[in-house]
Chain A
């Protein structure tokens, strides 16, 4: 079964004043273990679609399913709870809690979930090590570089054991080295733990590394291509 499925999602902003048709009948499906990028020109609706997939916003019409739950029928409260247990988020501006250390940022979401203290600390350490920040666990966000902060954000997104991770332009604020490093980590998790990633991007270097590329133009799916990436291609990079 698909992790996410949308049925003819439309989104109209400001329907009463100057309506903006940000999404037009978008129907897509994402399977477990995919490494999918969402591309398209600025204003094409990438962020809008990610908000729908992440149950952050409600479409004007259409349905959206995560697993067998029709999230478009959930109330605001139910969606918050649903997000906590099912969806991981990585944001363009990292958006860590500035007063918390890396470890606390990763633990935080598990505390919200009610995970026990011992398990939570163990898992936070494990995750930070897996993103290569084993030695910066007690650093606050302002003591970390952008790339390091984004890696903490990935660890945080994974901490809640979500069904999939959504990332809106995760590399937009990173230099090439940090961007590629982040992609390496995401790819490794995708391959080793079958973590499903859906990320939007403008960055050609990032697009190249996606298995599946969904292109949006003017709020509609323009193309949807899956490239068979074999290890030979990858090694060449």
Chain B
């Protein structure tokens, strides 16, 4: 074994250019792999965090059929008990109650269908980050009558500026239609054009006054101290209360789950392509190195070196290169991720496209230890697999090759 290590080590230094090329390939393969995964994970995490933080929160409570039917009368039954429960529970950081109806948005220009959400500005501020989405004007706690804020897209479609008056029409709890004038106090931009086109936000009390005599709620969004506790909190609420249903963020937004799946699939493809390129590069280099040494290997087998030792001599060469490459590559990749995670990667060039579907344009790549080490493992495995064939070729060399003239 010692002798194999020695000969393999010396052989690495024999053709420095080639070894350097191989080392570079491994380093770049690893670096590119880690970076791809990091960017993708960062992108997904941010998108998910953004949705969770700005509106969904960690869990929500609704009337059991509200999420399918969206009828105004599907309100939460007597919420005082639930509110008490939320106030008492230590795992709950904050919560906010909302009223939501679907209705018509009418401006002098035209009419659009929108979802009207009534929020309690104080509680909403404590619970979600939606207020950070406001790009101009004021939130719905501004001191004017019936303030409303809309997405920039909707405002542009309707040619609306702050201070303009629009009309919202929707069904009341008893089935009659209500129409009321609202004053535009601000514009928001959530990151998803689709969302910005279809949602308006008003003050909870204003909306409740129009919906029924009694204050009603359609949704309570809850933020916990730890998102991991969402499941157990949801179970506790569902067990304790009748006539309502609590759901975790991933149940509320199944498209997030799909997104994660799709992301990992794309990731798989990209890493595979990188790894296969790496493997072929290594295979090629090792084969070249081998063909140059056929006579020498013939000599080794002639004088009595066993074929299995020859095989391991070649594998060891690759192992040593791979390990060095892996160490350098890991350090480089980790460093790059650390820096980019702080600085962010601006995808402004593609922003038009990804903004449309609500993706962030500045990405902060992140990678878990698990992902990091599995990529390293994949690179090492690929390299070793790619040396099996050259090593097998060496294993099969005919000792009489030693006599061939060059």
Contact = CB atoms under 8 A, between A and B. Distances in A.
B7 A92 contact: no
Given A51-B400, A95-B299, A97-B296, A112 B13 contact: no
Nearest to B308: A77
Given A51-B400, A91-B299, A111-B3, A99 B304 contact: no
Interface in B346-363: none
B400 A80 contact: no
A107 B128 CA distance: 75
Contact of A108 (B3, B301, B302): B3
A80 B304 CA distance: 5
Interface string A72-113: 000011001101110101011101011110001000110111
Nearest to B8: A99
Interface string B1-45: 011001100110110000000000000000000000000000000
B306 interface: yes
A160 interface: yes
Given A47-B403, A95-B299, A97-B296, 12 more contacts: A51-B400, A76-B307, A84-B303, A85-B304, A93-B406, A95-B295, A100-B10, A108-B3, A109-B304, A111-B3, A112-B303, A113-B304
Contact of B10 (A80, A93, A99, A109): A99
Given A98-B14, A99-B7, A99-B14, A84 B400 contact: no
Interface string B377-406: 000000000000000000000011011011
Interface of A: 47, 51, 54, 56-57, 76-77, 80-81, 83-85, 87, 89, 91-93, 95, 97-100, 104, 108-109, 111-113, 156, 160, 168
A84 B295 CA distance: 18
B352 to A, nearest CB: 57
Nearest to B304: A84
B296 A112 contact: no
What 6 pairs across the A-B complex have the smallest Cβ distances?
A84-B304, A99-B10, A95-B299, A111-B3, A83-B304, A56-B399
A104 B6 CA distance: 10
B305 interface: yes
A100 B405 CA distance: 22
14 contacts: A56-B400, A76-B307, A80-B307, A80-B399, A87-B304, A92-B403, A93-B295, A97-B299, A109-B304, A112-B3, A112-B303, A156-B303, A160-B304, A168-B403
A77 B307 contact: yes
Contacts of A81: 304, 306
Contacts of B405: 93
Nearest to A108: B3
Contacts of A112: 3, 303-305, 309
A109 B7 CA distance: 13
A57 B402 CA distance: 12
B302 A83 contact: yes
A95 B3 contact: no
Contacts of A85: 304
A80 B310 CA distance: 12
A111 B10 CA distance: 16
Given A47-B403, A56-B399, A91-B402, A80 B305 contact: yes
A80 B295 CA distance: 16
A98 B296 contact: yes
Q: Which of B2, B296, B406 has the most CB of A within 10 A?
A: B296
A132 B394 CA distance: 34
Contacts of B14: 98-99
B3 A91 contact: no
Contacts of A113: 304
Contacts of B399: 56, 80
A43 B406 CA distance: 18
A99 B11 CA distance: 7
Contacts of A99: 7, 10-11, 13-14
A91 B403 contact: yes
A85 to B, nearest CB: 7
Contacts of B303: 83-84, 89, 109, 112, 156, 160
A156 B305 CA distance: 14
Interface in B302-346: 302-307, 309
Contact of B301 (A80, A87, A109, A111): A80
Contacts of A77: 306-307
A104 B299 CA distance: 15
A100 B403 contact: no
Residue in B7, B295, B403 with the greatest tally of chain A CB atoms within 10 Å? B403
Nearest to B309: A112
B4 to A, nearest CB: 10
A77 B11 CA distance: 25
